[in-house]
Amino acid sequence: MSTDTVIIGCCGANLASLAFALQRLGCDAPISEDPERVRRASHVILPGVGAADDAMSRLERAGFSELVPTLTQPVLGICLGMQLLFAASAEDDARCLGIIPERVSALPHAPGLPVPHMGWNQLEIGAETTLLRNVASGDYAYFVHSYAAPVGSYTRATADYGVQFSSVVEQDNFFGTQFHPERSSALGAVLLANFLGL
């Protein structure tokens, strides 16, 4: 698939597996920490692993905290990268990118539901989005997270883990998945292909 897709490299530990998942779709996406390279890309992916405050500090040091909200091409946040699209996170009371004006909260502890939420869970599609074309409610995706975004007008799919939370979001040209598409088998490949086709 011929796109000039760039992966922002300063917040992810899953970068190689994401790059390989894109390669399987015919997309060789470089990993970059150069804001100007990202600004020129046709598609941008913001993966994230770790803590929100630390990730925001790394984005700020690299010059991305001001750049990312101004991007007009399709942008996909993955896992913590999706959470960073929000205004704030309860994790370390972090200020995030502010693209979606809501706050990410900790998943509640409940009997039989250990935190972090780790493993396969079903999606419930609530609103139409190109990102989920050929994905159905009840399909499984792979999650690893301790914090989750609330459900709002930006929510395109949810999942349930003691509480219902946003598993796919869309706000203008910004998209996000709480799950890891690069680890979500056929569903993940379909979603990444849909993103590259935007």
Residues known to be catalytic: 79, 180, 182
Written as six digits, the tokens of 133 are 């074309």
Residue 92's CB: how many other CB atoms inside 10 A? 11
Is the omega angle on the peptide bond into residue 116 within 30 degrees of 0, that is, cis? Answer: yes
CA-angle at 123, arms to 13 and 26, nearest 5°: 50
Q: What distance lies between CA 153 and its chain's CA centroid? A: 17
Query: Cα(152)–Cα(167) distance, rounded to whole angstroms?
Result: 11
| Cβ–Cβ under 8 Å, residues 128 and 146 | no
